[in-house]
Structure 1
Amino acid sequence: MRRFSLVLLALVVLWAPPASGEEKRIYTEGLLWRVESQNAPASYVFGTIHISDRRVQAVVQDMLQTVGPLDSISLEIVQSPATMAAAAQRMFDLQGPPLSQRVGAQLFSQTVAAAAPYGLNATVLERFKPWAVAVTLSLPVSELRAQASGELNSEKLLEAHATSNRIALYGIETIDDQLGLFDGLSEAEQVDMLRLTLQNSRKTGAIFTRLVNAYLAQDLNDFYRVMEEFSVGQESNLQEFFEGQMIAGRNRQMVERIQPRLAEGNALIAVGALHLPDEVGVLRLLEQRGYTISPMPR
């Protein structure tokens, strides 16, 4: 699931409640932040966007030059065959009723048509969980093609940098941490998630273009402008799920888990850019723990 965080970003855009005017948010200007305490050397928090784009690769390379030698790099997930197998186990249901029975004939027919460009046929789709189909179809086909052609995303670049420079590499979360939250949705909520994804599939390309442009401009506040522009703002349960569990809840968990790395110092913490800003963001939570947070020059 190396593309999970980017998919999450697009899903949040679609299901976030529309913003009420221009709000002042904190920690939105910049992707790289210095984290300091009195008890350890400074560390860094970097916001990523998990997409295979050479412009994004350049941002990552520039960041690595800025921070210099590191003692550790922490990513949301460290990729391995085991993590990919765990993701597949979470996304497929080999024992329960087929997807066509879970979502109904009409929605299943729409799903089959939408999934064809992704190389998924009806037989394969029958074993998917409803939320897993929604997650898969929230990623543009163009990104899948880029990955298939060998283009690297931020995580792969950082993993390669850690390996080639003998830097300790850590995972902050597990696949179960991330995808297990989707399994907590009710059957009806999963079906709603799939239905809304299909209804708004034509927006996906435009959303990703805007998000990548905002990322390259290092303007995280523009993420919220995209939310205001594209949000469907329909399903309150899904809104609460994404804002409360997928963002705020994971932010708190990540801040807790990176404490050993920050105590060691000279660490790079790389998480999806959506997790950085606002009052419930990683940077604000670190500030509340007594760390001094300051932006690094672009």
Structure 2
Amino acid sequence: MRQLIPLTLMALVSATQAIAACAGDDVRTRLSAAERLEVTTAAAATPYGSGTIWTATRGDDRITIAGTMHLYDPRLAPIAVQLSPAITAADLLLVEAGPEEEAAMADAIASDPSLLFLTDGNSLTDLMEPEAFIALSRAVEARGLPAAAAAQMQPWYLSLTLAMPTCALADLQQGRQGLDAKLIDIALAADIDVQAVEPWDTIFSLMSADPIDDQIDALNLSFMPEDLANAMNATMLDSYFSGEIAELWELSRVVSRQVPGLAPEEADTLFAQMEDDLLTRRNLDWMPVIANAAEAHDTIVLAVGAGHLPGAQGVLRLLETDGWTITPGL
């Protein structure tokens, strides 16, 4: 699979004093009438397509489900306050990555440079066409990363970096946290156990699985125009806070066709592959973990990227299939 990594995935699936600088027009204004209809029709047909907070019950067991935003936004603070009583009353907080996973990842990166860097003697200056590397250099330097350093990095990791507009990086660099981290802090302060639904290296394994040539091809196609990236970022944030998650996902699918150098048909194929690898397969892998947690605990809060909740293979429908009753809100 050649990874196509939209900003939507990074924020919803693994930024604001910067939010004013990150302002952009509504990306829907860049779509044709047919594309807008495609988005709204697909979103309307998506199970559990609207909403970020849900409750699942089965007998005496209860799971509060929060669809999170991984990037920082000041509007996340009231949501954390809203969820705080559910967390402090729970037996367990389930997240994508908790403190143990973050520590394990940091240790692994420190001890194994090959996780993020090319260590076989090659560099991207050798592997990319000169014009493509010049474009890469401009893109990474706009994000404060020297081109010489980027040349030594794994292509898939650079694809993740380039998936973000430059305006969204300041908060990450300054340690401002998304909703997941805020909820973990609430749990730890209340002495509530925190458990991850997957190993720390899941995303690393998925993203690095492709041959290096395929990763290079994907990197060549990662240069979304800055104005389009800013518009997508602004629309993503507004859509998240209005709860229109399925519409946001379908919008990201259609906007991916505007990546320069990528044919619309190829964009759709890549997006579908990415959706299967980074959403559907992970959702399915999480279900036994959630089931085991529910057996051991009466009350759970599950906080994962909002993009994991909707859809026929989304977490909510999978729980429903497993006998849980799903209702919106707390």
> What TM-score do the two structures reach when normalised by structure 1?
0.87
What is the identity, as a one-letter code, of the residue corresponding to 1:8?
L
Using the alignment, how far apart are the partners of 2:11 and 2:63 within structure 1?
Answer: 29
Aligned to 2:244: 219
Percent identity between the aligned chains? 24
In the other structure, the counterpart of 1:81 is 103
8 A contact 2:68–2:179 mirrored in 1: yes
Aligned equivalents of 1:153, 1:184: Cα separation in 2: 27
Counterpart code for 2:98? V
Contact map agreement 1:76 1:172 (CA 8 A) in 2 = yes
Which residue identity does 1:61 align to in structure 2? V
Shift of 1:148: 3.2
Give runs of aligned pairs for residues 16-35 of structure 1, distance below 5 A. 19=38, 22-23=41-42, 24-35=45-56
Query: Which one of 162, 183, 191 corresponds to residue 158 of structure 1?
Result: 183
Whether 2:213 is the aligned partner of 1:195: answer no
The answer as to whether partners of 1:35 and 1:45 remain within 8 angstroms in 2 is: yes
Deviation string for 1:224-272 (max 9, x for gaps)?
A: 4523551314345523420211111111011222222222121111110
Matched-pair contact (CA < 8 Å) for 2:88–2:186? no
**Hey, what's the Cα distance between the residues in 1 that align with 2:84 and 2:11?**
26
* Other structure's SS at 1:283 match: helix
Equivalent residue number for residue 278 of structure 2: 246
**Deviation at 1:6?**
5.8
**Structure 1 residue 5 displacement after superposition:** 10
280-289 vs 89-98, which deviates more? 89-98
Question: Cα deviations across residues 43-85 of structure 1 (Å, max 9, x unaligned)?
Answer: 1111001111110222222222466611111110114333234
* Kept after mapping to 1: 8 A contact 2:280/2:314: yes
Query: Counterpart of 1:144?
Result: 169
Distance 1:224 1:6, change over 3 A: closer
Deviates more, 1:264-273 or 1:86-95: 86-95
Instruction: Find out whether 1:283 has 2:328 as its counterpart.
Output: no
Residues 1:222 and 1:168: Cα distance change in structure 2 (over 3 Å): same
SS, match of residue 221 in structure 2: helix
Cα RMSD, aligned residues only: 2.6
Say how many residue pairs are matched.
289
Contact 2:256 2:267 in 1 (8 A): no
Is 1:173 aligned to residue 206 of structure 2?
Answer: no
- Are the structure 2 counterparts of residues 271 and 247 from structure 1 closer, same or farther at C-alpha, using a change threshold of 3 Å? same
- 2:16 corresponds to which residue? none
Residue segments in structure 1 that go unaligned for 5+ positions in a row: none
Unaligned runs of 5+ in 2: 14-26, 28-34, 258-263
1: distance between equivalents of 2:96 and 2:6? 9
Paired AA for residue 276 in structure 2: G
Instruction: Give the 5 Å matches for 1:5-24.
Output: 8-9=9-10, 19=38, 22-23=41-42, 24=45
1:152, CA displacement in angstroms?
2.4
Please report the TM-score for the alignment, with normalisation by the length of structure 2. 0.79
